[in-house]
Chain A
């Protein structure tokens, strides 16, 4: 009896550990955002929210953010990509962009208004679309040596 019981226990252990659990965490991968035709405009991070963001845009959007008075002759398109901020696994004192949490897209309309949509994730519950558009438009392109 004892022998049978131990065989049953052992086999359940072996087969149980090998079976796929439906709740098992999915495989983790590296992610680099592909902006298509948009160009990188600027980055930011927020230690309170523990987020890190990258802003991409097309040439009219870049002109608009460089000079808010610039007239929009072509439709402007911007994407704000937000990640969770995390410790750099290689270097103490450094924080890096980690898990992707939100991709927002805004596009200018002919009437001067902006269309807003989320491509990935959901906007923070305490913020409106209007606030998110204002946040994106309140960005300045980084200045590189020329």
Chain B
């Protein structure tokens, strides 16, 4: 008798699960269908195949999803991931990007696959075919390097001085990014926290305000304190006769401003970019940071609170402390002499 009761209970439970599962399917929205406007052009076939196999299911308008990807509740997560992936990078709308943006996106692709951040480990687990082998990552790397080789020419100082069109960038009123962050010339009074060069033949100077500098000194990155601000000035590279590479024409100014309440969708960081001498703001809407900035910062710079360009830990504490002590002693001597 007891056994019959138990069998009945199991049947009822099973029916409930089936009914619940079936009813979920009524809330199953299909993925938004979008047209293909243009793929990458002049890309080696090998690279194309790798991208199609590992990336297109999320980063395109040409999904080839398996049955279980389309079944609710799994489909809800899949759809959300696809919508987000399309925002960040869409291989079916590659033609909408400028040449510089295409190049920048491809370096980002290599950095993501090289760091093992893409395809997402959770995705690879359920889609083992999307995993990239070491040789495939190398194919991506070689193509990324070939892109930089194409514009490897760095003009000389002499050639730049002959340019009649070179002018000091000017603007009348401070431009404002779509998310409300204004160009702030105050950065020149901030401290230089680092310098960098990028494969795209640019040279960069990174400034931090007092709050950001203090956060770096205290390793206070998780999270960075509100009010931290970092500015990155980007210039084209120019070569001096002694081989030194120096800043040439101004390219853009980039800002990251920390406000945990205002910029919730981008890990508390507000992004802004002002391009060219006219300082034209990047982005048509405030969503631009979600679409083009935070994905790399989130995946590749998590250890330093989503900020690249925090000075690396490579200096000997002993030597630096000795140096700072010596400098301070000299200052004290000068101060007492003046007194």
Q: Within residues 239 to 282 of chain B, which ones have a CB less than 8 A from any CB in chain A?
A: 240, 242-247, 250, 253, 274, 277, 279
Q: Are B243 and A98 in contact (CB under 8 A)?
A: no
Given the contacts A32-B213, A93-B148, A146-B169, A43 and B314 also touching, CB distance less than 8 Å = no
B317 CB–A CB distance under 8 Å: yes
Output the least CB separation between B181 and chain A (Å): 16
Given the contacts A32-B216, A32-B311, A91-B111, A46 and B195 also touching, CB distance less than 8 Å = no
Cα separation A92 to B253 with both chains bound (whole Å): 21
Output the least CB separation between B213 and chain A (Å): 6
> Which residues of chain B have C-beta atoms less than 8 A from A11's C-beta?
none
Mask, B201-216, CB within 8 Å of A = 1, is 0010101100001001
Cα separation A120 to B301 with both chains bound (whole Å): 31
List the A residue with the shortest CB-CB distance to B147.
A93
Partner of A144, one of B169, B315, B318: B169
> Which residues of chain B have C-beta atoms less than 8 A from A31's C-beta?
311, 315, 320
Q: Are B327 and A40 in contact (CB under 8 A)?
A: no
List the A residue with the shortest CB-CB distance to B327.
A119
Output the least CB separation between B218 and chain A (Å): 10
Partner of B316, one of A28, A40, A54, A95: A28
Q: Are A143 and B111 in contact (CB under 8 A)?
A: no
Cα separation A44 to B250 with both chains bound (whole Å): 15
List the B residue with the shortest CB-CB distance to A103.
B323
Cα separation A95 to B200 with both chains bound (whole Å): 11
> Which residues of chain A have C-beta atoms less than 8 A from B245's C-beta?
44-47
> Which residues of chain A have C-beta atoms less than 8 A from B29's C-beta?
none
List the A residue with the shortest CB-CB distance to B174.
A145
B233 CB–A CB distance under 8 Å: yes
Output the least CB separation between A117 and chain B (Å): 10
Partner of A92, one of B114, B312, B313: B114
> Which residues of chain B have C-beta atoms less than 8 A from A47's C-beta?
243, 245
Given the contacts A143-B250, A144-B250, A43 and B195 also touching, CB distance less than 8 Å = yes
Mask, A20-53, CB within 8 Å of B = 1, is 0000011111111111000110111111110010
A100 CB–B CB distance under 8 Å: yes
Q: Are A46 and B317 in contact (CB under 8 A)?
A: no
Given the contacts A46-B243, A143-B169, A28 and B314 also touching, CB distance less than 8 Å = yes
> Which residues of chain B have C-beta atoms less than 8 A from A39's C-beta?
188
Output the least CB separation between A42 and chain B (Å): 6
Mask, B107-145, CB within 8 Å of A = 1, is 100110010000000000000000000000000010010
List the A residue with the shortest CB-CB distance to B205.
A43
> Which size class do A's interface residues fall under?
35 or more
List the B residue with the shortest CB-CB distance to A29.
B317
Q: Are B213 and A98 in contact (CB under 8 A)?
A: no
A135 CB–B CB distance under 8 Å: yes
A112 CB–B CB distance under 8 Å: no
A18 CB–B CB distance under 8 Å: no
Q: Are A97 and B311 in contact (CB under 8 A)?
A: yes
> Which residues of chain A have C-beta atoms less than 8 A from B279's C-beta?
145
> Which residues of chain A have C-beta atoms less than 8 A from B244's C-beta?
44-46
Q: Could you pull out 15 A-B pairs where Cβ atoms are within 8 angstroms? A: A28-B316, A32-B213, A33-B192, A45-B244, A46-B245, A49-B243, A89-B312, A93-B144, A100-B315, A143-B169, A144-B185, A145-B183, A145-B279, A146-B168, A146-B171
B residues near A (Cβ < 8 Å) are 107, 110-111, 114, 141, 144, 148, 168-171, 183, 185, 188, 191-200, 203, 205, 207-208, 213, 216-217, 219, 233, 235, 240, 242-247, 250, 253, 274, 277, 279, 296, 300-301, 304, 308-320, 323, 326-327
A residues near B (Cβ < 8 Å) are 25-35, 39-40, 42-49, 52, 54, 83-84, 86, 88-100, 103, 119-120, 135, 138-140, 142-146
